[in-house]
Amino acid sequence: MKNSSLTTEALAFVLELDSLFERDRQELLLARSKRTTLTPKSDTAWAAPEWRTAAIPTALQNRTVEITGPAEAKMMINALNSGADVFMADLEDALSPTWDNVIDGQRALADAIRGVLSYQSPDGRTYNLNSKIATLVVRPRGWHLNEPRLRGANGKPMSGSIFDFGMFMFHNAHEAAASGRGPFFYLPKLEGASEARLWSRVFAHTEEKLGLPHGTVKATVLIETFPAAMEMEGILFELRDYIVALNAGRWDYLFSAIKCLPLYDKENTLFPDRSELTMTTPFMRAYAERLVAVCHKRGAMAIGGMSAFVPSRKDEEANARAFTAVTADKTREASQGFDGTWVAHPDLVSIARTAFETTAAAPSTTTTFDGKSLFPRASLAPFNEKTPTMKNIDTNIDVTLRYVAAWLSGLGAVAIHGLMEDAATAEISRTQLWHWRTWRSAGGAPISVALENGAAVPLTDALLSERIDRAFNLISKETVPSIAGGSLSTAVELLRELVFANELAPFLTLPAMDRLPKPQSIQGAENVHTANV
């Protein structure tokens, strides 16, 4: 049964977790909204020389290549069978959180833990797990996301983080622990040590409740927000009984850097096109090198980020471009000292592995941390040297519309123009549009946009609105399998709401969630505090 995991006992378990930790979660979210500065923080406990992070279990000691994707049966089977060392099953950025997807994801995870996951495609093909598969690590939703279809005892929506984590633990923790392959988690969107501390408390309580030894749970934290980069060592310290690695979540990190502009640059640094914001940009390189240094200082592993390129089995030229780009990206990460990396497609596993196995790490040159190297500066290329182009404005509009329309149709990871797009890359696109629209020079002039003929025009609201209409009309003429019904029109409505707002919305998924199809009822939830929606 689709809702077989939604037993009264399981729902009561996650409800109890939610009731215990919801007030603390809300306090942390309020602290985010009240942040007025962004400076490196330290603590005497963090700086103490003697502490180290948790021992790394055998199943996580080799993480040379990790593959990621949504917690959907077919994609999970392909990823687990890919030859990668680790598979991160995503319940967050790569999963559109329709109710069916959320519940099907939990069911697929339970089957994967037990080695019985299978899938039959509409054309009759059957997919099964190999005898040897990647180690499964689960990414629950971030602290900022709710599960609106379920309500806690206070009558408010339950935490999506608690629901995803609690359901997985209730149904699978003992099975995973017995095999030595979990329970393992990837924690997203943390904005500092205090938020890591809350996860540590949730882990400890859940282990005690389920009768598991302290430290059974193991976690990797994605450093994908600008505030978290300020407190990497604190995050390791607060989760030291559980944490085994940090990951350089580059795409969300770029999104966060743009979003945090008012907190560190009063002169409003102008971010260039997304294609200019590579990992060789000084502030991105400093972020990666800092992460490696902190991890190795404290005994944790450092995992590199995702290259968005995906190969094409139908286009040899596109395939070659993807292989070349991924090889260069992974060679750079290996030379920086990362212990492993991410890919988004099974065909890239061997490419990434070869890059790591044939590249020696350069000696670390990281000095005392004062945080300054992590901040974008107008004096450092490419900032304030290149104006956005009309081509890239159109690309950002196109990507956001295609992705949001697919997300509203139930797909959370979509290949668009040869790149794997998820919520993180869509966030960059729409945030850049807002950033460029609201940017003003010292004299109050709007940004200039470079045209293909070399001319430049001011980016007015009228021009931006015209380009959104143009993109809608062009996409409407195509047959796009990932876009269903009126989702493209809804995506246009949402993009306009976000781009023309006076204030930058913290996450596009928050207003997008209200536009997902609503289930008629929630089977199996009659005896707990829930909302029938």
Whole-angstrom Cα distance, residue 203 to residue 243?
11
pLDDT digits (tens, 9 = 90+) for 120-158: 988 889 999 999 999 999 999 999 999 999 998 788 999
What mean pLDDT is predicted for residues 225-252? 96
pLDDT of residue 528: 41
Whole-angstrom Cα distance, residue 75 to residue 78?
5
AA identity, residue 299: G
Cα 109 off chain centre by: 19
The residue out of 374, 402, 419 marking a domain boundary is 374
Label residue 249 by pLDDT band (50, 70, 90): very high
pLDDT of residue 529: 41
Q: Which residues contact 379 (CB under 8 A, 6 or more apart)?
A: none
SS3 296: helix
Label residue 419 by pLDDT band (50, 70, 90): confident
Do 341 and 356 meet the contact criterion of CB atoms below 8 Å apart? yes
pLDDT digits (tens, 9 = 90+) for 478-505: 888 778 778 999 999 999 999 999 999 9
pLDDT of residue 383: 61
Catalytic residues: 139, 422
User: Can you state the percent helix, strand and coil of the chain, rounding each to 5?
Assistant: 45, 15, 40
pLDDT digits (tens, 9 = 90+) for 367-378: 567 777 888 765
Q: Tell me: do 443 and 306 sit in the same domain.
A: no
Bigger pLDDT: 104 or 370? 104
Q: Tell me: do 370 and 430 sit in the same domain.
A: no
What mean pLDDT is predicted for residues 90-107? 95
pLDDT of residue 362: 81
Label residue 399 by pLDDT band (50, 70, 90): very high
What mean pLDDT is predicted for residues 386-392? 85
pLDDT of residue 385: 56
Alpha helix segments (H runs only) across 98-247: 99-113, 160-178, 193-210, 226-230, 232-238
CA end-to-end span of the chain:
20
Whole-angstrom Cα distance, residue 345 to residue 48?
41
Residue 17 has pLDDT above 90, yes or no: yes
Domain assignment of residue 306, yes or no: yes
**Taking Cα atoms as reference points, which of 252, 1, 28 lies closest to residue 159?**
28
pLDDT of residue 527: 38
Q: Tell me: do 100 and 56 sit in the same domain.
A: yes
Query: In this structure, what token pair is assigned to residue 495?
Result: 């993009």
Domain assignment of residue 239, yes or no: yes
Do 389 and 450 meet the contact criterion of CB atoms below 8 Å apart? yes
Domain assignment of residue 3, yes or no: no
pLDDT digits (tens, 9 = 90+) for 150-189: 998 788 999 999 999 999 999 999 999 999 999 999 999 9
Residue 524 has pLDDT above 70, yes or no: no
**285-288-291-293 Cα dihedral, nearest 10 degrees:** -60
- Name the β-bridge partners of 512: none
Q: Tell me: do 302 and 341 sit in the same domain.
A: yes
Cis previous bond, 183, omega within 30: yes
φ, ψ for residue 420, nearest 5 deg: -85, 115
Q: Tell me: do 406 and 349 sit in the same domain.
A: no
pLDDT of residue 532: 32
Query: In this structure, what token pair is assigned to residue 296?
Result: 């190795």
Residue 59's CB is within 10 A of a number of other CB atoms, namely 20
pLDDT of residue 159: 97
Specify the CATH number for the domain of residue 460: 1.20.1220.12
Which percentage of the chain shows pLDDT scores above 90? 70
Q: Tell me: do 326 and 461 sit in the same domain.
A: no
What mean pLDDT is predicted for residues 287-314? 91
pLDDT of residue 267: 60
pLDDT of residue 146: 96
Whole-angstrom Cα distance, residue 11 to residue 150?
9
pLDDT of residue 505: 94
Instruction: Return the half-sphere exposure (C-beta side, CA atoms, 13 A cut-off) of residue 13.
Output: 22
Q: Tell me: do 396 and 370 sit in the same domain.
A: no
SS3 385: coil
Rg (CA), the chain: 22
Q: Tell me: do 258 and 358 sit in the same domain.
A: yes
Domain assignment of residue 508, yes or no: no
Averaged pLDDT of the chain: 90
AA identity, residue 41: K
Do 157 and 150 meet the contact criterion of CB atoms below 8 Å apart? yes
pLDDT of residue 526: 39
**Taking Cα atoms as reference points, which of 402, 423, 436 lies closest to residue 506?**
423
Domain assignment of residue 204, yes or no: yes
The residue out of 374, 405, 425 marking a domain boundary is 374
Residue 429 has pLDDT above 90, yes or no: yes
What mean pLDDT is predicted for residues 245-249? 96
pLDDT of residue 378: 55
Q: Tell me: do 59 and 176 sit in the same domain.
A: yes
Q: Render 215-249 in DSSP notation, one character per residue.
A: T--EEEEE--SHHHHHTHHHHHHHTTTTEEEEE--
Domain assignment of residue 445, yes or no: yes
User: 49-63, 88-102, 209-223, 307-321 — which is least confidently predicted?
Assistant: 307-321
Residue 416 has pLDDT above 70, yes or no: yes
Domain assignment of residue 287, yes or no: yes
Q: Which residues contact 491 (CB under 8 A, 6 or more apart)?
A: 400, 401, 402, 404, 405, 408
Instruction: Return the half-sphere exposure (C-beta side, CA atoms, 13 A cut-off) of residue 332.
Output: 18
Whole-angstrom Cα distance, residue 86 to residue 65?
7
Whole-angstrom Cα distance, residue 526 to residue 253?
40
Label residue 379 by pLDDT band (50, 70, 90): low
SS3 128: strand
Provide the number of structural domains found in the chain. 2
User: Which domain range does residue 468 map to?
Assistant: 390-502
pLDDT of residue 265: 66
What mean pLDDT is predicted for residues 220-249? 97
pLDDT digits (tens, 9 = 90+) for 336-346: 999 999 998 99
Specify the CATH number for the domain of residue 215: 3.20.20.360
Whole-angstrom Cα distance, residue 143 to residue 160?
7
Whole-angstrom Cα distance, residue 193 to residue 40?
12
Domain assignment of residue 333, yes or no: yes
Q: Tell me: do 341 and 399 sit in the same domain.
A: no
Q: Tell me: do 363 and 425 sit in the same domain.
A: no
Whole-angstrom Cα distance, residue 262 to residue 503?
11
Q: Tell me: do 368 and 397 sit in the same domain.
A: no
Q: Are strands 146-151 and 135-139 parallel, antiparallel or unpaired?
A: unpaired
- Name the β-bridge partners of 342: 66, 306
**Taking Cα atoms as reference points, which of 284, 310, 304, 263 lies closest to residue 413?**
310
pLDDT of residue 273: 84
pLDDT digits (tens, 9 = 90+) for 39-98: 878 889 999 999 999 999 999 999 999 999 999 999 999 999 999 999 999 999 999 999
